[in-house]
Chains A and B, each alone.
Chain A
Amino acid sequence: LAKTTQPISMDSYEGQEVNITCSHNNIATNDYITWYQQFPSQGPRFIIQGYKTKVTNEVASLFIPADRKSSTLSLPRVSLSDTAVYYCLVVRQGYQKVTFGIGTKLQVIP
């Protein structure tokens, strides 16, 4: 599976839009980009998945360019409760093994 690279940490003020970019240069045709969120003292939880272009749900948006070598998770108007670690993963269709990296620790500042 393609290795992912994302910033180790980010800070943002409340109310701002936060964009976390992840690179996955060796992504394969049957791979999907998936993001998880982990709050302190909890297990990670799935927030969004995409293959190409743009995906939006009630939590976030995911932007994937045509070459799919990177992706950007966008969190609109963050609040203190969005402080968490965000993991970018490449998941292969039909392959259940999922590996996590260090993730991006987002700190939202009042």
Chain B
Amino acid sequence: DAGVIQSPRHEVTEMGQEVTLRCKPISGHDYLFWYRQTMMRGLELLIYFNNNVPIDDSGMPEDRFSAKMPNASFSTLKIQPSEPRDSAVYFCASSLRGSNTGELFFGEGSRLTVL
């Protein structure tokens, strides 16, 4: 398996623009997580899905952020409108319920810079 695949790897945009980050989880995994990482706040959980259904979105910063999972192999995180304080690395991870350890498998991240 190719692992968790995220795109784009890097995105530079201007304030006010819409940003869409994409994630393909590992085939067969039934949980998908979106995290945001900054120097100041570390790695924060934004939202996670189980079987394509959002379970906990309490970490989503505000209404400008939205996440969807239309099917088991694809998820998006959208920011509209983007602001400079949204600059961060956004990670997607997936896991399989019933695994012995609950291990999360992370993608390589999408580095977002909002000017």
Contacts and interface: CB of A to CB of B under 8 A. Distances in A.
Interface in B20-65: 31, 33, 35, 42-45, 48, 50, 55-56
Q: How large is the interface on A (under 10, 10 to 19, 20 to 34, 35 or more residues)?
A: 20 to 34
A35 to B, nearest CB: 11
Interface of B: 4, 31, 33, 35, 42-45, 48, 50, 55-56, 91, 93, 95, 97, 101-109
A18 to B, nearest CB: 21
Interface of A: 32, 34, 36, 41-46, 49, 87, 91, 93, 96-103
B115 to A, nearest CB: 21
Contacts of A41: 108-109
Nearest to A46: B103
Contact of A100 (B35, B102, B108): B35
A21 B87 CA distance: 32
B42 A101 contact: yes
Contacts of B50: 96
Nearest to B93: A43
12 contacts: A34-B101, A41-B108, A42-B109, A45-B106, A46-B103, A46-B104, A46-B105, A49-B103, A100-B42, A100-B44, A102-B42, A103-B42
